[in-house]
Chain A
Amino acid sequence: NAGVTQTPKFRVLKTGQSMTLLCAQDMNHEYMYWYRQDPGMGLRLIHYSVGEGTTAKGEVPDGYNVSRLKKQNFLLGLESAAPSQTSVYFCASSYPGSGLFGAGSRLTVL
């Protein structure tokens, strides 16, 4: 089925550890986004990409890096995790007028 797939769904890290979240879409969308969702704050944009090989900063980019080496994949990396990065992370891909979200990745940093 076409859609946006995020892996892993759950992860627990210790402060200072690193990890990568993977987002994959099979709809040939140009635009992809990473958001974080925290209670009472809606979703906030971390980084986004408007095409293969491009990335740009969103509203809350500090502490995160991204890469878009292939059109279908958008990776979100945490080089040195901090407790403030405990959140649910959502990836989205889109074409003009629509947005499709993955099911989320719940990250806990101890």
Chain B
Amino acid sequence: TQLLEQSPQFLSIQEGENLTVYCNSSSVFSSLQWYRQEPGEGPVLLVTVVTGGEVKKLKRLTFQFGDARKDSSLHITAAQPGDTGLYLCAGVSSGSARQLTFGSGTQLTVLP
């Protein structure tokens, strides 16, 4: 079974601060996805990283896929209260079913 460890589990910061969330595994994934989930809703896909070493930017969010395709990070610059939510990483299997293995999530709270 492929496992993804996500850290930290909880993060509470002040508006304007920077933060990084980590997603680590001993397994290799074909790609890795990051989702954001708000209360009462399903996860919403933010980005998919495919190539080892790949870096993608989405406004103030920077996503990086490790060279060995086993780990990833999400960095938020100058966090805003609107960034508050549950952030989930998910590894995509290389099989035809493209199953997702999720990390346990990081609950981010950005205080005004």
Interface residues of A, Cβ cutoff 8 Å to B = 4, 31, 33, 35, 40-45, 48, 50, 56, 58-59, 90, 92, 94, 96-104
Contacts and interface: CB of A to CB of B under 8 A. Distances in A.
Given A100-B45, A104-B40, A42 B105 contact: yes
Given A40-B9, A40-B104, A104-B40, A45 B45 contact: no
A56 B99 CA distance: 11
A59 to B, nearest CB: 7
A101 B42 contact: yes
B9 A31 contact: no
Contacts of A90: 42-43
Contacts of B40: 103-104
A101 B44 contact: yes
Interface in B55-104: 88, 90, 96-104
A83 B28 CA distance: 35
Interface in B20-54: 31, 33, 35, 40-45, 48
Given A48-B99, A101-B44, A59 B1 contact: yes
A102 B43 CA distance: 8
B30 to A, nearest CB: 10
